[in-house]
Amino acid sequence: MSPAWNRRHVLSLSDFAPWEYNTVLQTANSFREVLSRRTKKVPTLQGQVVTNLFFEPSTRTRSSFELAAKRLSADTLNFAPGSSSLTKGETILDTAKTYLAMGTDLMVIRHKEAGVPHAIAAEMDRLNSGVGVLNAGDGQHEHPSQALLDLFTICALLDPANPRLELLQGKKIAIVGDILHSRVARSNLWSLTASGAEVHMAAPPTLLPKQFADYVKASDTAGSSEGIDRKLFIHWELEPALQAADFVMTLRLQKERMTSHLLPSLREYYQHFGITRERLQQCQPHVKVMHPGPTNRGVEITSDIMDDPDMSLIAEQVTNGVAVRMALLYLMGGGKA
């Protein structure tokens, strides 16, 4: 039997234990069932306040969290940086403390700088506020709820009745694209290697992080105590990553990268790393393709694959995103019950 959830903040997956992954997967699965009903609401967080502090604008992720909170019957507040006190010289911590003082119970934070959610969480703890902080993307650091919804999507496909980390053991997962700038890749690295999957990352050398050896080493250390054999491989070409892969995760290519000369052109990227039906023939016959969205059709992936319901899990990822975020808010908020 799993211990009781006692993680107040979800900031990074670097120290997630297998039982924590499994608790999220099981809780998300029960919410997934709620979402299939006509009345997709539970009263769990009635009267509580979930505040979205999105210093970096995002419609998609904010909507997902907002809907997750509403379906738990929470009240939601959205902080809009454009018209905010930030432009009046207030610090980020002061903004967070203002929303704390108003009565926020859970904060969902996105910021273009790595570490901002951690700093806010530390301040919330210092003040003994009891508030939980969820990192919804900090710079190029982590985006844990995205990695957890990716994990859930894979596990729920493998065993819909009982999605669990162990299902990934021995599976081959390719992560393709701009690893260097991707907080999604960083978070996925922790969860996927923790599962015992074989993770193969493929990207042009300019889009691979130099400090990668550290990640591998850190995961080795963390992994050994759990008796899990973590396996991570890095490739400068697509083919060895795709070879016999069970799942192919594509990452969004930020067009801004072109201007900084990390890539010659979108066309050349597509020629070498774009996911096409032809290239997927090297994978397992049942291979599935994923993307965190929004997609650049014809760059990271062809429209053909993206819209093929037998191959693409992209819509499933979005749906599961609401269930996984409900699970996280539920688990984090449960500590105050």
Q: Which residues bind its own copies (CB under 8 A)?
A: 35, 37-41, 46-49, 57-60, 63-64, 66-67, 70-71, 75, 77, 79-80, 82-85, 88-91, 94-95, 97-103, 252, 255, 293-297, 315-319, 321-322, 336-337
Q: Which is nearer to its own copies, 232 or 313 (CB)?
A: 313
CB 216 within 8 A of CB 232: yes
8-state DSSP, 5 = P
Distance CA(241)–CA(209), nearest Å, equals 17
How many residues does the structure list for the chain?
A: 337
CB 243 to its own copies: min, Å = 30
Q: Which is nearer to its own copies, 98 or 284 (CB)?
A: 98
| Cα 172 to the center of its chain, rounded Å | 19
Distance CA(156)–CA(159), nearest Å, equals 5
CB 319 to its own copies: min, Å = 5
The kind and range of the H/E element at 335 are none
Q: Which is nearer to its own copies, 57 or 264 (CB)?
A: 57
CB 257 to its own copies: min, Å = 13
- With CA atoms as reference, report the closest residue to 107 among 327, 324, 329: 329
CB 190 within 8 A of CB 232: no
Tokens of 80: 């809009």
CB 211 to its own copies: min, Å = 27
Contact partners, residue 80, CB within 8 Å, separation at least 6: none
CB 315 to its own copies: min, Å = 4
CB 259 to its own copies: min, Å = 15
Contact partners, residue 231, CB within 8 Å, separation at least 6: 193, 196, 197, 198, 199
